[in-house]
Amino acid sequence: ADPWTPTTVYRLQPGAKVAILTVGAPSYLAGQASDAAAAQGVACDVHVVNGFPLAADFMDAVASRYRAVITLEDGLIGHPSAGVRGFAAFAAGHLGGRTALEHYGLGNPQVAPSEHYIDVWKHFGMTAEALTAAIVRLNA
């Protein structure tokens, strides 16, 4: 019964300096990673991007609040050497130079296993464990 909003706060940890901005199905991995990092004493907020357009000040608020942002999406993000795509590119365009960025998504699905989407995610490092390690590293 809640009205639709372009973003939803999924995890809010006191003192977080790192955030995950996530789109789509792997969002639950971001929540698991935030919880695991919190258990290690490292805070990370998670914001789910439900759709566009985002609030006009959303990305500016993210840049002013967090020193690092991790993007996570179940979509083609390309490769840093060839440029990023999808939400990763959107975030890079709005946050690049203002906060550290790290992207998780599909680099090249032509070389990934195709038996199950979870296998594809794992192939590209889209796991709660990898995200937790990134949170801890980016907080150091």
Q: What is the mean pLDDT of the chain?
A: 94
Indicate whether 31 pLDDT > 90.
Answer: yes
Q: Which residues, 6+ apart, have CB-to-CB distance to 93 below 8 Å? A: none
Indicate whether 19 pLDDT > 80.
Answer: yes
Q: pLDDT tier at 52 (50, 70, 90 boundaries)?
A: very high
pLDDT the model gives residue 107: 86
93 CB-contact burial (10 Å; exposed 0-12 / middle 13-18 / buried 19+)? exposed
7 CB-contact burial (10 Å; exposed 0-12 / middle 13-18 / buried 19+)? middle
Query: What is the value of pTM for the model shown?
Result: 0.94
Output the six-digit token pair for 138.
């980016």
pLDDT the model gives residue 1: 81
Q: pLDDT tier at 111 (50, 70, 90 boundaries)?
A: confident
pLDDT the model gives residue 51: 95
Indicate whether 67 pLDDT > 80.
Answer: yes
Phi and psi for 51 in degrees, rounded to 5?
170, 180
Name the more confident of 52 and 115: 52
